[in-house]
Amino acid sequence: MQHPLSLYNTLTRRKAPFEPLNAPFVGVYLCGPTVYNEAHVGNARGPVVFDVLTRYLRHLGYTVRYVRNITDVGHLEGDADEGEDKIGKIARAQQVEPMQVAEGYTNLYQNHMEVLGCLPPDITPRASGHIIEQIQMVEEIIKNGFAYESNGSVYFDVPAYNAAGRGYGKLSNRVVEELLAGSRDNLAGQEEKRSPLDFALWKKADERHLMRWSSPWSDGFPGWHLECSAMSRKYLGAEFDIHGGGLDLMFPHHECEIAQSQACNHPTDEARVWMHNNMITVNGAKMSKSLGNFITISQLFDGSNATLAQAYSPMTARFFLLQAHYRSTVDITDEGLQAARKGYRKLMNGLRLLEKLREFSLSPDVIRARTVAPVAEGKAPDTAAADAELQKLVQDCYTGLNDDLNTARAIASLFNLLRKLNGFAANPATLATVSAAAVQEATNAYQTLVQDVLGLVDEPRASAEDLLRLTLEFYQEAKATKAYDKVDQIRAALKQQGIVVKDTKAGVDWAYSEE
């Protein structure tokens, strides 16, 4: 399949045309959340970006298998190889089962992704459900000489891996000697390791650890990095097309994933293209709990964070995240979010125009002006120049997306296209200058790109309760002025919606129709 999509590959540090391993099939893996607390706004950026990527790949005609995992075991405090499991720690404090903690936060995360407009992944594997696959992978790595067992735990042997010429550090562009120097060979608290660079593939569970499984080495749990390697291999193969995640995961998580895959029986770099979305800041500062600017997704939606002046809707948040290229940082400010809300609503108003433009374009007056009048004057109808201009505006939208999924550029081009469409709507007679086919192509492209590719859909502007209350006020006013025709109209309109008006001694009320 030929198409102009190019993507930046962190592994090669360059942008290149995207060429799938087995077109038209494309495998995409995104590192999902560790479900020990509620996701923050930064956790939403990757899912939104890769939702657009998978939507666009499908729009281009590919058959995509999109996998986004849930890490519900093995993620230790500080992301190191020591300490207590984050989920287990919360479960112990709350005196509940660890899986209750994981399930609750998993459900909340998935609900948030849904309202943000992210389509559900094709597969959502959980680390706890793939212990067998992880054990098998560890056995392969040990057999190939790149891991060792120590007191019931198993560690990846980074020096042995590098001595074999495999290149630990090639994704993050780090030099092993510098990493070793930085570590000062400090193995305090990690005496089981041969090298401070070695990382856990399997950890023996101590008496505190609630989540544990049997293995050939001990009752324990898998290392954090191992989970994604095992699950991506199971569902996408030893080598697949695209692996995504936040820039903060590039090292050590993704670097270790590549090492694990290279050390297996079928050595690969796991994915051919590694894509990393950049971080989010708040008012120019890194988001952190210590600075008091940590914003959860729920707080963004309800405005209950002191950093925010108000609440922002999910679609406003999605538009805000897509306004910047995914490899650029995004700074959360009230001014930026408010501007995003205006931009989002402008695109939605554009959607409302489309059907009218299609109707105007095919109206008798426009058809007559486009064809009959020129012929009567002895001229051939010529819309070629105007058609080309409209088609160029459409193509510009795709040019942005094809340039490393540059949604910022695509949105700017959509506004240019919308400006032209608004001009037609303001003066329908000008539609005679373009062909009906060009209008149809432009309006279809606008709708497809906004809704199906960018995933921006209309949101309710008011609650049903508020609208019903306002309607009943109009009903009471009509009764008071004896405008009985309006009273009957309101009653009939509400009844069509399954609502009946009830006049009582206490006043006007409503109920669901039981007919």
CA distance 263 to 145: 8
Do the beta carbons of residue 47 and residue 262 sit within 8 Å?
no
pLDDT higher than 70, residue 9: yes
Residue 84 has pLDDT above 80, yes or no: no
Contact 60, 24 (CB under 8 A): no
Per-residue pLDDT of 209-224, as tens digits, reads 889 999 999 999 999 8
- Cα gap 331→81, rounded to integer Å: 32
At 3, the pLDDT band (50, 70, 90 cuts) reads low
Neighbours of 196 (CB within 10 A): 17
What are the binding residues for Zn(2+)?
Answer: 31, 228, 253, 257
Residues 145-156, mean pLDDT to the nearest whole number: 97
pLDDT digit string, tens, across residues 212-265: 999 999 999 999 899 999 999 999 999 999 999 999 999 999 999 999 999 999
- Binding residues for ATP, by number, are 289
Which residues sit in the known binding site?
31, 228, 253, 257, 289
Q: What is the mean pLDDT of the chain?
A: 90
pLDDT value of residue 179:
73
SS3 489: helix
d(CA 331, CA 292): 16
pLDDT of residue 260: 97
In this structure, which amino acid lies at residue 470? L
- Which of 470, 469, 501, 505 has its CA nearest to residue 488? 501
- Structural tokens at position 28: 């995409």
